Structure 1
Amino acid sequence: MKKLFHSFILLFVILPLLNIYSVFACEAVPQLVMDTVQAKKVTLVGEFHGTVETPQAFYNLVCNVMDQNKDELLTVGLELSSVPNIELTDQASLEKWLAADEEWVAPHDGRSSQAMYQLLQRLVQDKQSHPNLSILLFNVPTGKVEPLMAKKIINAYNGQRMLILTGNFHAKLKQTNEPDFANAPAPMGHYIYSKYPHQTTNIYITYNGSTQWAREGDTFGVFAVGKSKSTAPHQARLLSAAETEMTGYQTIWNVGEAHASYPQIHTEKDDNPHMPHLQN
């Protein structure tokens, strides 16, 4: 009878808890990624929105930085919109913010994904045991987006370490000649790098193919992600001067095969041909 009771506890109490916390367990990241972050105060991490893997990889980076620098101030920046008078400090404030932020109720461009919500959950949870951790929401939905987002980050910088997760265009340190961005304005990273050139670096997250939840034109849903030709899965490398000139990035990190992360809050607007009936 005692063995049966212990089996019940393991199956219905302990295992579910382990499953919740293993989703974003603190795992190792490539040493070059850690070296890059430790060498500078401000690191911009450029992603494709709407994957399961990016928030996981970014959390691993945050987690390892906190473990290695326990007494250091750390600001984690996310390309999400702030809500007046709500600071993300715990689960209650996260739920209050989520209910007030219209970005989470469609149309979804990948930033309001299930994986991003899980990242936020882990960050507010970690804040309970890491009082030196702060969360900065810097998105600007309209207007001169790039300089305004940069201004929010610059205004929040007081010499502490900052890890900033944002779209792969925003994280570029300079304007480039890439055809996809030929007519684009100077990216957010350009303004930050111009202000703090010796303290700022960036990392370009790439993938080994598969899918993401994204926006293409006026269509939102699941789209293919190409395979990176720049580095092998789960590896990182420094880019050459010529590659940096072309891409606006200094380091590249392939986090492996990507899988689309669906919106945290599903609405009818999400039902379209680009949303197969799949789950994360």
Structure 2
Amino acid sequence: MIGMVMAAALSAAPACVPPPGTEALLATPQRVIVIGEMHGTAETPAAFAEIVCAAAERGPVTVALELPQGMQPSLDAFLAAPDAAAALAALEGSPFLDPAMNDGRSSEAMLAMLNSVRELKLAGRDVAFHAFQPSQSRPRGLDQSWYELDMGHILAMAVFARADARVLALVGNLHARKTAIDRFPDLGLPAAAHLPAADTLTLNVAQQGGEAWNCQRECGPNASISTYDGEARGVVLEPAGDGAYDGVLALGPTTASPPVRPAADDQPSPTSSGSSS
């Protein structure tokens, strides 16, 4: 009887529609897959959710997110919620619904992605959240490289907590690099570079134009640059960024996704524009 109930639950799991190339990505042996994004788009969280969906068909998945580590209880409650309203209520009082988090990590698209993972859980998939942005303030006198080390350590804890799970991480693209950046000496080695190289695969979401919701100039939809083939789509598994990444996730021109709860003064004017890098 239990087996029949489980089979029925799994048969009701959402159909996965991952980007082209996802099958090859998930066939790789690396335990941790890190996807580096420009925060504030609609497309990246949606594609990430579909990759998680496809991975969860293969086995346990830990969804690691660049959200404050102190949010973990809220994320656990969100995942256990029976419906979207209860899930949103679980985030009350957390940074996710704080208008001060206005860099794209608390966007409507991110909330939709969280709900997609919750629906996988309800359907019987073995999924879990893991928040890995350091909540502890960096002590005075320590530069960004110490923050990256701390972030990498917390991300590694996702593996220790669920060693049988594939870890899929979504993070800002600088943190996802495997190499340092000469023009940012205080950055040191990015977070992903502190993970075992042989067990970590990194993708950079290609910049193909469009917009992202951020506060780089004015808070609102700001123009994104285009530096990659505008016609490319899907996962491309070949070194990119002079070896900083193991591949690229090309989703085409992006559209901006606003915060779930924007600040009153973050409402963009009809003519607001800007650039991202």
**TM class, shorter-length:** 0.7 to 0.9
Q: Please, which of 125, 128, 132 is the counterpart of residue 126 of structure 2? A: 132
Aligned partner of 2:155 in structure 1 is 153
Q: Distance in 2 between matches of 1:37 and 1:271?
A: 39
- Does the alignment pair 1:166 with 2:171? yes
Aligned partner of 2:142 in structure 1 is none
CA contact (8 A) 1:176 1:247 kept: no
CA contact (8 A) 2:56 2:125 kept: no
Deviation at 1:275, TM superposition (A): 8.1
Structure 1 gaps, min length 5: 1-23
- Does the alignment pair 1:106 with 2:99? yes
Residue 209 of structure 1 aligns to a residue whose secondary structure is coil
The within-5 A match list for 1:51-70 is 51-67=41-57, 69=58
CA contact (8 A) 2:35 2:202 kept: yes
Point out the more displaced range, 87-96 or 119-128. 87-96
* Code of the aligned partner of 2:249: W
CA contact (8 A) 1:231 1:237 kept: no
CA contact (8 A) 1:204 1:249 kept: yes
Aligned partner of 2:3 in structure 1 is none
1:275/1:65 CA distance change after superposition, 3 Å: farther
- Does the alignment pair 1:83 with 2:96? no
Deviation at 1:200, TM superposition (A): 0.7
Q: Distance in 1 between matches of 2:270 and 2:171?
A: 23
* Code of the aligned partner of 1:216: Q
CA contact (8 A) 2:213 2:221 kept: yes
Q: Distance in 1 between matches of 2:258 and 2:271?
A: 9
Q: Distance in 2 between matches of 1:56 and 1:183?
A: 32
Q: Distance in 2 between matches of 1:207 and 1:215?
A: 18
* Code of the aligned partner of 1:83: M
Structure 2 gaps, min length 5: 1-13, 139-145, 273-277
* Code of the aligned partner of 2:23: M
Aligned residues: 241
* Code of the aligned partner of 1:202: T
Q: Please, which of 254, 260, 268 is the counterpart of residue 258 of structure 1? A: 254
* Code of the aligned partner of 2:181: T
Q: CA RMSD in A?
A: 2.6
The within-5 A match list for 1:172-211 is 172-177=177-182, 179=183, 181-192=184-195, 196-211=196-211
Q: Distance in 2 between matches of 1:34 and 1:52?
A: 22
* Code of the aligned partner of 1:44: V
Deviation at 1:236, TM superposition (A): 3.5
1:55/1:98 CA distance change after superposition, 3 Å: same
